[in-house]
């Protein structure tokens, strides 16, 4: 690979508190050689003029589902990485709710090998916290970590058993692994498919109160004060939960939190007349909740924005709402939809990018999400102003269940570099 | 008021009857006016018309039903349609067939109307997106039961002359009731004031947004009411414990002659059936023809369904 220089580009890198127009020099090994206003040209350099565009570290998406193994008809490594790169995402934390579940060492070897062969992005696989995600017995944290597991998550399942949760935290604290919890009390959430309230009442659907989320967060944070470990709440969805988080953070409890871009950009009214693509977990809640989540990001109560990319085929969505599968795709639209929050003046640009790059990288303890000299040249280059309309059939995911079909967005990825190579451009 | 011979509100709008929520006042009134004309016919000796001759009506019932199903059955037949009733039970689901697949199969047989009852809220909406014929909702989950509300309205109009200005109480298992929801929308639309009365555990969150006053006390909730609609405790939809016991429920929420006195003197009693005697309603009261409109509701149900079939079928 030849040395490359990206010129005249607005560089926003929250890890260096940088927002300036300058150049990025990438060396032969695909690392950042220098960044900023200084221009280290030599003759053999490949020059790419990016005037009018923005360069940020490649996005780190902390929650995406890749269909392999078991659900290849929904998504595979190849299609997921194509979608990711088109969305400026260069690092993906993949969920273990595959078939079979990633809960043992041989499965880890399989997906790492498979990902390396088929995917063109950096993959960071998660294993499940409990075997088969059944919430009974913890997996081999130590062995799995040694084989390359980045964190542990039962994805859309919650450890209900408090004793087990305390042991998980206690054990995890000793070997420095990241536990990612989906916060939902099963009994309170039983048979529910939507937020409790007016919309649920009108649609005649079983609603779930936000207390189902809050109660698990409260329990876990109580346990965490006893057994401090690396603990992350995958997706917060309500104002009530944020109040608990605020209280605990001010009491000095250390943990991190995430939110799905869907919960930041949509509310329960968007479900309209049974739009199953907006059946999500945690569910879309009220506008008040949505606004509080934005405040949560402003106040650093929420650290990460995830796509919560869940590809589902048409068959599992074309059912009555209560029976339909949960989740929507979103990795390709993650950045553009996040930029909507900048354009509508909900959040500063730097904050949004922080939640998509350096914050998740720090939580995961990976060397990504930054354009510091010496780091991998994983770079997302986008046009901040470009208007476009989301069309499901144009998205690269194998499944087309986007929650934001026909949404008019502003800001689109122009080019994605992976270790210095142009992996996507349009 | 519009009749079909003049300008029809329904003929110019989407062809499905999915819920009262999607109905305009004009449309609702048009159905009621049309239904009135069938009351007499149904009481006469010659009941057959040929309005729907040559049309095929499929009753697709995924949930067991006695009165709604037979009512739609009769209504279709009296209008001259060929009626086929399919009791799906869980058989189709057990074989792994989805609602859409079933619908597509039936659609291939070119029906003109599908009447659907389904345990999932929104199932008729989904169906209506996939078939070419008229879809009429005969009850979906806990969302809507539009023809029940329409027949309730017709029953009230038949007795009281008008709905505007009346005060109507709906009591019982509001949480699980599609009848309650459809009635709330329709009675509000027709100008009545609606109270809902239920124990807190059977009162859905956000019900006030639907335009009702909610009560947990029968005495307060029934005060000044012209119509008292009792609802069945839907035990089959209840998962887990909502109430301490049926006995306690009857004590506080069961309608007895004493409790009925909280309402207006000439208050009338309605119930969509089937009744749990001694649970939500005193058995003698239920049969008291001076107070109870239950039989009339069933009778007028056929007229209302005839009107719906006639107006919605293209």
Residue A164 lies in a domain: yes
What is the share, in percent, of chain B residues with pLDDT greater than 70?
Answer: 95
Residue in A191, A319, A322 nearest the CB of B239: A191
Kindly determine whether residue B205 and residue A199, on different chains, have CB atoms separated by under 8 Å: no
Is pLDDT above 80 for A38? Answer: no
Check the CA dihedral B236-B240-B242-B243 and report its sign. positive
Mean pLDDT of B8-14: 65
Closest-CA residue of chain B to A320: B123
How far, in Å, CA of A281 to CA of A9, rounded?
38
Residue A309 lies in a domain: yes
Is pLDDT above 60 for B5? Answer: no
Give the confidence band of B3 by pLDDT, cuts at 50, 70, 90.
very low
Asked about A308 being catalytic, the answer comes back as: yes
Give B42-63 pLDDT, tens digit per residue: 999 999 999 999 999 999 999 9
Residue in B125, B207, B240 nearest the CB of A201: B207
Is pLDDT above 90 for B235? Answer: no
- The whole domain housing A171 covers 57-364
| Of A348, A218, A239, A343, the residue nearest A291 (C-alpha) | A239
A-B contacts (CB, under 8 Å): 75
Residues of B with CB under 8 A from a CB of A: 21, 98-100, 118, 120-123, 125-126, 140-144, 178, 181, 204-207, 209-210, 239-240
Q: pLDDT value at position A42?
A: 64
Q: pLDDT value at position B134?
A: 95
A187: domain CATH number is 3.20.20.140
Give B129-174 pLDDT, tens digit per residue: 989 999 999 999 999 999 999 999 999 999 999 999 999 999 999 9
- Here the tokens at position A132 are 């088969």
Is pLDDT above 70 for B12? Answer: no
Q: pLDDT value at position A387?
A: 98
Q: 10 Å Cβ neighbour count for A116?
A: 10
Residue A37 lies in a domain: no
Mean pLDDT of A383-391: 98
SS (H, E, C) chain A: CCCEEEEEEEEEEHHHCEEEEEEEEECCCCEEEEEECCCCCCCCCEEEECCCCEEEECEEEEEECCCCCCCCCCCCHHHHHHHHHHCCEEEEEECCCCCCCCCCHHHHHHHHHHHHHHCCCEEEEEECCEHHHCCCCECCHHHHHHCCCCEEECCCCCCCCHHHHHHHHHHHHHHCCEEEECCCCHHHHCCCCEECCHHHHHHCCCEECCHHHHHHHHHHHHHHHHCCCEEEECCCCCHHHHHHHHHHHHCCCCCEEEEEHHHHHCCHHHHCCCCHHHCCCCCCCCHHHHHHHHHHHHCCCCCEEECCECCCCHHHHCCCCCCCCCCEECCCCHHHHHHHHHHCCCCCHHHHHHHHCHHHHHHHCCCCCCCCCCCECCEEEEEEEEEEECCHHHCCCCCCCECCCCCEEEEEEEEEEECCEEEEEC
Q: pLDDT value at position A242?
A: 98
Residue to mutate among A190, A194, A203, with most B CBs inside 10 A, is A203
When mean pLDDT is compared across A23-37, A205-219, A275-289, B186-200, the lowest value belongs to A23-37
Kindly determine whether residue A321 and residue B142, on different chains, have CB atoms separated by under 8 Å: no
Residue in A202, A205, A273 nearest the CB of B125: A273
When mean pLDDT is compared across A329-333, B62-66, B150-154, the lowest value belongs to B62-66
Q: Annotate A234-265 with b (16+ C-beta within 10 A) or e (fewer).
A: bbbbbbbbbebbeebbeeebebbbbbbbbbbb
Residue A391 lies in a domain: no
What is the Cα Rg of chain B in Å? 19
How far, in Å, CA of B195 to CA of A344, rounded?
41
Kindly determine whether residue B122 and residue A205, on different chains, have CB atoms separated by under 8 Å: yes
Q: pLDDT value at position B38?
A: 96
Q: B210 to chain A, minimum CA–CA distance in Å?
A: 8
Which residues in chain A are contacts of B99 at CB distance < 8 A? 319-320
Residues of A with CB under 8 A from a CB of B: 190-191, 196-205, 207, 209, 273-274, 315, 318-323
Which residues in chain B are contacts of A203 at CB distance < 8 A? 121-122, 143
Question: How does DSSP classify residue B79?
Answer: T
Give the confidence band of A2 by pLDDT, cuts at 50, 70, 90.
confident
Q: pLDDT value at position B34?
A: 96
Residue to mutate among A201, A208, A276, with most B CBs inside 10 A, is A201
Kindly determine whether residue A205 and residue B121, on different chains, have CB atoms separated by under 8 Å: yes
Q: pLDDT value at position B15?
A: 84
Mean pLDDT of B183-211: 97
Q: pLDDT value at position A15?
A: 97
Give the confidence band of B91 by pLDDT, cuts at 50, 70, 90.
low
Q: pLDDT value at position A214?
A: 98
What is the share, in percent, of chain B residues with pLDDT greater than 90?
Answer: 83
What's the total number of domains in chain A? 1
Is pLDDT above 70 for A41? Answer: no
Q: pLDDT value at position B4?
A: 46
How far, in Å, CA of A103 to CA of B236, rounded?
38
Residue in B21, B209, B240 nearest the CB of A198: B209
Is pLDDT above 60 for B117? Answer: yes
Is A394 in contact with A51 (CB distance < 8 Å)?
Answer: no
Q: pLDDT value at position B10?
A: 73
Give A133-163 pLDDT, tens digit per residue: 999 999 999 999 999 999 999 999 999 999 9
Which residues in chain B are contacts of A205 at CB distance < 8 A? 121-122, 141-143
Mean pLDDT of A5-12: 95
Residue A168 lies in a domain: yes
Which residues in chain B are contacts of A319 at CB distance < 8 A? 98-100, 126
Residue to mutate among B121, B178, B179, B242, with most A CBs inside 10 A, is B121
> Would you say how long chain B is, in residues?
314
Q: pLDDT value at position A79?
A: 97
SS (H, E, C) A170-234: HHHHHHCCEEEECCCCHHHHCCCCEECCHHHHHHCCCEECCHHHHHHHHHHHHHHHHCCCEEEEC
- Would you call B140 helix, strand, or coil by DSSP? strand
| Of A193, A190, A185, the residue nearest A211 (C-alpha) | A185
Is A57 in contact with A371 (CB distance < 8 Å)?
Answer: yes
Kindly determine whether residue B239 and residue A205, on different chains, have CB atoms separated by under 8 Å: no
Which residues in chain A are contacts of B144 at CB distance < 8 A? 204
Q: A320 to chain B, minimum CA–CA distance in Å?
A: 5
Residue A271 lies in a domain: yes
Q: pLDDT value at position B1?
A: 47
Residue A341 lies in a domain: yes
Residue in B99, B140, B239 nearest the CB of A190: B239
Mean pLDDT of A346-368: 98
Residue A77 lies in a domain: yes
* Mean pLDDT computed over every residue of chain A: 96
Is pLDDT above 60 for B83? Answer: yes
Q: A393 to chain B, minimum CA–CA distance in Å?
A: 20
Residue in B121, B126, B206 nearest the CB of A204: B121
Give the confidence band of A228 by pLDDT, cuts at 50, 70, 90.
very high
Quote the ipTM score: 0.90
pTM above the 0.90 mark?
yes
Q: pLDDT value at position B237?
A: 74
Is pLDDT above 70 for B93? Answer: no
Kindly determine whether residue A319 and residue B99, on different chains, have CB atoms separated by under 8 Å: yes
Which one of A61, A185, A308, A378 is the catalytic residue? A308
């Amino acid at each position: 690979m030849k040395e490359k220089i990206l010129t005249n580009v607005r560089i926003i890198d929250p890890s260096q508190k940088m927002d300036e127009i300058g150049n990025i020099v990438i060396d032969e090994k695909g690392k950042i050689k220098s960044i900023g206003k200084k221009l280290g040209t030599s003759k053999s350099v490949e020059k790419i003029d990016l005037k009018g565009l923005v360069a940020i570290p490649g996005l780190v998406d902390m929650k995406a589902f890749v269909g392999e193994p078991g659900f290849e008809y929904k998504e595979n490594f190849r299609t997921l990485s194509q979608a990711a790169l088109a969305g400026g995402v260069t690092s993906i934390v993949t969920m273990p709710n595959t078939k079979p579940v990633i809960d043992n060492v041989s499965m880890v070897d399989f997906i790492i090998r498979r990902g390396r062969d088929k995917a063109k992005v950096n993959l960071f696989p998660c294993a499940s916290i409990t075997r088969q995600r059944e919430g009974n017995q913890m997996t081999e944290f130590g062995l799995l970590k040694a084989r390359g597991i980045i964190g542990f998550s039962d994805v859309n399942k919650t450890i209900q058993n408090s004793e087990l949760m305390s042991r998980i935290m206690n054990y995890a604290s000793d070997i420095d692994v990241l536990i990612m919890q989906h916060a939902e009390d099963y009994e309170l959430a039983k048979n529910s498919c939507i937020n409790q309230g007016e919309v649920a009442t009108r649609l005649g659907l079983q609603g779930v109160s936000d207390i189902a989320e809050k109660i698990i967060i409260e329990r876990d944070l109580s346990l965490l004060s006893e057994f401090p470990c690396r603990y992350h709440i995958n997706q917060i969805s309500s104002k009530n939960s944020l109040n608990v988080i605020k209280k605990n953070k001010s009491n000095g409890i250390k943990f991190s939190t995430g939110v799905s871009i869907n919960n930041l950009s949509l509310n329960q009214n968007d479900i309209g007349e049974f739009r199953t693509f907006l059946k999500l977990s945690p569910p879309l809640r009220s506008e008040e909740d949505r606004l509080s989540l934005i405040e949560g990001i402003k106040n650093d109560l929420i650290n990460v924005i995830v796509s919560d990319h869940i590809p589902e085929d048409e068959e599992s969505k074309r059912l009555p709402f209560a029976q339909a599968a949960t989740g929507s795709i979103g990795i390709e639209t993650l950045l553009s939809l996040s930029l909507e929050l900048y354009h509508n003046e909900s959040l500063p640009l730097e904050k949004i990018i922080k939640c998509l790059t350096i914050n998740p990288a720090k939580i995961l303890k990976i060397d990504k999400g930054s354009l510091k000299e010496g780091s991998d040249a994983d770079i997302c280059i986008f046009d901040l102003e470009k208007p476009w309309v989301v069309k499901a059939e144009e998205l690269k995911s194998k499944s087309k269940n986007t929650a934001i079909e026909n949404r008019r967005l502003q800001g689109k990825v122009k080019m994605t570099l992976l270790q210095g190579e142009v992996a996507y451009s349009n | 008021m519009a009749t079909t011979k003049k300008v029809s509100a329904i003929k110019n709008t989407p062809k499905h009857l999915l819920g009262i929520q999607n109905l305009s006042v004009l449309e609702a009134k048009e159905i009621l006016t049309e239904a009135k004309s069938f009351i007499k016919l149904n009481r006469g000796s010659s009941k057959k018309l040929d309005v729907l001759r040559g049309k095929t009506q499929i009753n697709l019932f995924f949930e067991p039903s006695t009165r709604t199903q037979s009512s739609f059955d009769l209504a279709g037949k009296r209008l001259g349609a060929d009626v086929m009733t399919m009791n799906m039970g869980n058989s189709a689901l057990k074989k792994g067939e989805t609602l859409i697949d079933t619908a597509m199969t039936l659609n291939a047989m070119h029906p003109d109307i599908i009447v659907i009852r389904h345990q999932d809220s929104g199932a008729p909406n989904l169906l209506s997106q996939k078939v070419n014929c008229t879809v009429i909702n005969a009850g979906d989950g806990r969302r809507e039961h539009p023809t029940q509300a329409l027949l309730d309205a017709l029953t009230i109009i038949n007795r009281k002359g008008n709905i505007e200005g009346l005060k109507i109480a709906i009591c019982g298992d509001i949480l699980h009731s599609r009848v309650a929801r459809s009635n709330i929308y329709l009675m509000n639309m027709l100008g009545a004031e609606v109270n809902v009365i239920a124990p807190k555990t059977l009162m859905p969150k956000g019900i006030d947004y639907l335009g009702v006053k909610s009560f947990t006390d029968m005495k307060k909730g029934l005060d000044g009411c012209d119509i008292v609609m009792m609802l069945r405790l839907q035990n089959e939809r209840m998962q887990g414990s909502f109430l301490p016991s049926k006995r306690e429920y009857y004590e506080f929420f069961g309608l007895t002659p004493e409790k009925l006195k909280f309402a207006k003197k000439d208050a009338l009693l309605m119930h969509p059936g089937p009744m749990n005697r001694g649970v939500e309603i005193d058995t003698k009261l239920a049969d008291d023809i001076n107070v109870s409109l239950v039989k009339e509701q069933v009778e007028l149900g056929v007229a209302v369904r005839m009107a719906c079939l006639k107006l919605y079928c293209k």
